[in-house]
Copies of this chain bind each other. A is one copy, B any other.
Amino acid sequence: MDKMLSELFEIAQELLDGSQDTGRLERLTPGELVQRVPLGLGPKGVPMDQVLDRMRQVVRYTPKTSSPRFFNQLFAGCQQAAAAAEMLTGLLNVSMYTYKVAGPMILIENEVLGRMCRVASFPDGFGIAVPGGSMANLVAMVLGRNKALPNMRAEGSDGRRMTFYVSKEGHYSIVKNAGILGTGRDNVRPIDSDDRGRMCVRALQAAISKDIEEGAVPCAVVATMGTTVLGEFDPLREVAEVTRRHNIWLHADGAYGGTMLLHPEGRKKFDGLELADSLTWDAHKAMGIPLMCSMLLTRDPHVIRECMGETADYLFQGDEDLLNPGTRSLQCGRRNDTFKLWAAWLNLGDEGWAERIGKQLHLAAYAADRIRSEPRMSLCQDPVSTNICFRVDGLAADEACTALQEAGEALIGHGTVREEVVFRLVTVNPELLETQLDTLFEAILRLL
């Protein structure tokens, strides 16, 4: 293993150097790739040094999500303490079901979840780590459904229609999950948004009233805290007034925006969060933690256990329940996704997170100013977080994104705002320099 480790660290070094490189992104088509790197598996093995060579080539051609030219998704860059912990996690390879197998990692997970609950104004709250925001939303939907229909878990559906509510700007996982959970994709009500892309509370109230009149059982309202395209926040306190009135589960989907809780300005967007029942918060998006690092937090400390608790005597042996998170997790065997977040939090502290988010917001403001100052570009609206949506006169955003990628200039995505396809720039990498944003805008304008 020793020789393997030293060669591995060389590759890691090259990878880190390459990620910080400001040179153009190299992009190969699938056809070009398989010509340069043989990927096929066969009956015969290959010695370890050749495996490492092959890995080195694959790494070379893999898009660099920490590159200053990567703006494609709601994550970018990498917090260094988290990167170190992530590499050790793979070597340690414990499964997070019991203290017996995972030892200190269980205490670390409890510390991280407890701290996130307090930040989220769930002082007695509880949480579980899940493999992604879609899965966090799925668990929240199970909790809401099972609270609305207490016999559901044991007996299954009684045939009454079960409805969910999310704004048209919300994440597609709500509809997808409804297809999985047996409540039906058609029973997710897409609620109109206001002119900034925030859920329209009057439309929400109308949809709920209509469903109740028709005998349906509203299971949960999902307020989106950081929409995928505009980065907007639903008006949580007003939404909570509606859910409280009808005793419906209120889930805050902060998969993307949850991180803003750690910034004094961002926190204001969450006014009313103490009235929500659950919160999705992905640390692998805006916090620079390697994938996956996603949490579902609940205000009530018992509800996850009530709706998801299991026993299995072949597995959960020794130690008290709190130390055996497998008794209440979505998965059985589970990778350790919290050591890396703990390491980053230890490194930064709450104050370091606030500073880091401040940098992201500053970059967003810089980008918005740059767009305002350029006659051929215009903002769809003033950014409230780290998403900047804009149009360029004479450019189709989707075609322009492809052209930028093909030229190796940048990986950037597009989104649809009020039926117009526009550029969506995301400034979640706090290491980014203003000059690197300038480079991006110049590359875009060169397409004209």
Instruction: Please encode chain A, from 162 to 201, with 1 for each CB lying within 8 Å of some chain B CB and 0 for all others.
Output: 1000000001110110111111111100000000000000
Nearest CB to that of A229 among chain B residues? B314
Q: How far is the CB of A217 from chain B (nearest CB, A)?
A: 11
Q: A59-B88, A101-B63, A186-B155 are in contact. Are A107 and B30 (CB under 8 A)?
A: yes
User: What total of chain A residues lie within 8 Å of the partner, measured CB to CB?
Assistant: 152
Which residue of A132, A175, A334, A398 has the most chain B CB atoms within 10 A of its CB atom?
A132
**Cα-based distance from A92 to B185 in the complex (angstroms):** 35
Q: A93-B66, A184-B154 are in contact. Are A405 and B318 (CB under 8 A)?
A: yes
Q: A390-431: which have CB < 8 Å to B?
A: 398, 401-402, 405, 411, 413-416, 424
**Cα-based distance from A88 to B284 in the complex (angstroms):** 17
Q: A1-58: which have CB < 8 Å to B?
A: 1-2, 4-6, 8-9, 11-13, 15-16, 27-28, 30, 33-34, 37, 39-48, 51-52, 54-55, 58
Q: A2-B13, A83-B91, A228-B314 are in contact. Are A335 and B39 (CB under 8 A)?
A: no
**Cα-based distance from A100 to B402 in the complex (angstroms):** 10
Q: How many copies does the complex hold?
A: 2
Q: A302-321: which have CB < 8 Å to B?
A: 307-308, 310-315, 317-318
Say whether A271 faces chain B, with CB atoms less than 8 Å apart.
Answer: no
**Cα-based distance from A103 to B65 in the complex (angstroms):** 11
Contacts of A2 in B (CB 8 A): 13, 16
| Interface of A (DSSP majority class) | helix
Contacts of A179 in B (CB 8 A): 153-154, 307-308
**Cα-based distance from A101 to B63 in the complex (angstroms):** 6
Say whether A433 faces chain B, with CB atoms less than 8 Å apart.
Answer: no
Contacts of A178 in B (CB 8 A): 156
**Cα-based distance from A86 to B87 in the complex (angstroms):** 7
Say whether A126 faces chain B, with CB atoms less than 8 Å apart.
Answer: no
Cβ–Cβ contact A86 & B90, under 8 A: yes
**Cα-based distance from A155 to B183 in the complex (angstroms):** 7
Q: A13-B5, A107-B30 are in contact. Are A161 and B156 (CB under 8 A)?
A: yes
Q: Which of A348-356, A357-365, A377-385, A439-447 contacts B (4 or more CB under 8 A)?
A: A348-356
Q: A33-B103, A103-B63 are in contact. Are A314 and B415 (CB under 8 A)?
A: yes
Say whether A339 faces chain B, with CB atoms less than 8 Å apart.
Answer: yes
- Supplied contacts A48-B81, A62-B105, 5 more A-B pairs, CB within 8 Å: A8-B88, A9-B9, A156-B157, A292-B333, A317-B413
